[in-house]
Amino acid sequence: MSTPHIQFKALKGFPPATKDKIETEAFLESAKEIVTVIESFGKLFTPVISDMNGNITKLTKVYNMDKIKYVYLEDMIILNVKVDNFAADALLWLKRGLQLICTFFENIFYDAQATDALKIHLQNAYERTLKPYHGFLVQGTIKIIYNWVPTRSQLIGTGEAHDENLQELGKFLPTMRSHLNRIDALLKQCNVDNAKV
C-alpha cells in the first residue's frame, strides 16, 4: 500500500482565529504550507504553485518593511491600500488560489460517495472560485490540469490512512475557511474585491 500524497495530521494548518485580527507571519506560513501540499499533486500544477508563491513573496516583502506595524494582516492591507494596491492585490490573488484549494478539499470531504476520481471536484472548485477571473487561455490550461489531478486514494490514501486523513481534514477546513472569509470581508471593506461570483 502506497503512502498518501498528503498527511493532514502533519500540517500545522491555519492558526485558530482567537484574536480579532489575523497574524501576518502565521498566515503566510500557513499559505506556504498549502503550496507544498499542491506541489504533491505533480509538475502540471506548477502555474498554480508559481502564482501563489509569487503572491506570498510580495506580501512577505511588504511585511518585512515593518514587522511591528504589519504584525496583523488587516493593518498591512488597510495602511497599504492608501498608498498603493500592491499588498492588497497580492492578497486578493493569494486568497483566490487558497479558495480554490479549500473548496477542492471541502468537495472531497463532503463527498458521501467517496469518489476516487477527483477531477469533478477540482473542476467544481475552479468554476466556483477562479474561473470568473481567468481568460480563455488560462481556462484551457486548467482543463488540461483537471485530467492530472491525483485520485482520492493517491491523495489521501485508503483504509485507515484515508479515514484518519479525512478526520484531520475535518479539523483543518473550518479554520482555513474562517480565515478566507475574514480576508474576503477585509478586501471588500477596502474596495479591493467587490466582484460578484
Q: What is the CATH number of the domain that holds 89?
A: 1.10.3520.10
Q: pTM value?
A: 0.89
Domain assignment present for residue 194? The answer is no
Give 51's contacts (C-beta < 8 A, 6+ positions apart).
Answer: 93, 97
Domain assignment present for residue 25? The answer is yes
Domain assignment present for residue 163? The answer is yes
Rounded Cα gap, residues 117 and 119, in angstroms: 6
> Letter for the amino acid at 149?
V
Give tens-digit pLDDT for 96-119.
999 999 999 999 999 999 999 998
Q: Per the structure, how many domains does the chain have? A: 1
- Under DSSP, the state recorded for 10 is G
Domain assignment present for residue 131? The answer is yes
Domain assignment present for residue 30? The answer is yes
Domain assignment present for residue 4? The answer is no
Inter-residue contact 95 to 129 (CB < 8 Å): no
Domain assignment present for residue 24? The answer is yes
* Confidence (pLDDT) at 163: 93
Query: Looking at per-residue confidence, does 169 or 123 come out higher?
Result: 169
Domain assignment present for residue 12? The answer is no
Inter-residue contact 4 to 162 (CB < 8 Å): yes
Average pLDDT for 60-87: 91
Partners of 72 in beta bridges: 23
Give 78's contacts (C-beta < 8 A, 6+ positions apart).
Answer: 186, 190
In the chain, helix, strand, coil percent, each to 5?
A: 70, 0, 30
Rounded Cα gap, residues 114 and 3, in angstroms: 18
Tell me which residue has cell 489575523: 22
Give tens-digit pLDDT for 124-164.
888 888 777 766 666 666 666 767 788 999 999 999 999 99
Give tens-digit pLDDT for 12-61.
999 876 668 899 999 999 999 999 988 888 777 788 888 999 999 999 99
Range of the structural domain that residue 29 is part of: 20-187
* Confidence (pLDDT) at 137: 66
